[in-house]
Structure 1
Amino acid sequence: MKKKNILNLIGLRCPDTMLFLKKKLRSLKIGDLIIIITDDITTKKEIPLLCNFLNYILIKSNILKIPYSYFLKKK
């Protein structure tokens, strides 16, 4: 069974947002799902780039209203 994680980054701003996210992503195993909740506008650009760079799948994102949410899966 796949493990699901929720990472609440509300109130943090870049670069702290990305530092906490990268730290959490390192602990995930292949197939794990993570849900990221944030109010940092820079994540609209940074998280898709991070997914491409670190080989994660961006399953779904909600960036139309705050808080933003992202659903990622580790390949």
Structure 2
Amino acid sequence: MKLSDRLDALFWRLYAAAGVFCLAAITVQLEPFLQYMAVCMFFLLAIVPLQAIAALVDFYLDLRADFNPRPS
């Protein structure tokens, strides 16, 4: 399993947890600050996905493998 696959799975778990927290905060009628924080966390995870980080890590590892080939 590649690193990007693991980070992708982690991203979707975090995104689902943030969605559940957001719905719970709005449904339970928590303090307005907690509702605002839950919505911001949900959209922050949507805007800044870990997939971009995974793509950069994969690019770095591929680039490193190109310059440092393993002996056969």
TM range (shorter): under 0.3
Q: Which has the larger radius of gyration?
A: 2
Higher relative contact order (Cα pairs below 8 Å, separated by 6+ residues): 2
Structure 2 length-normalised TM: 0.28
Of Structure 1 and Structure 2, the greater strand share is in 1
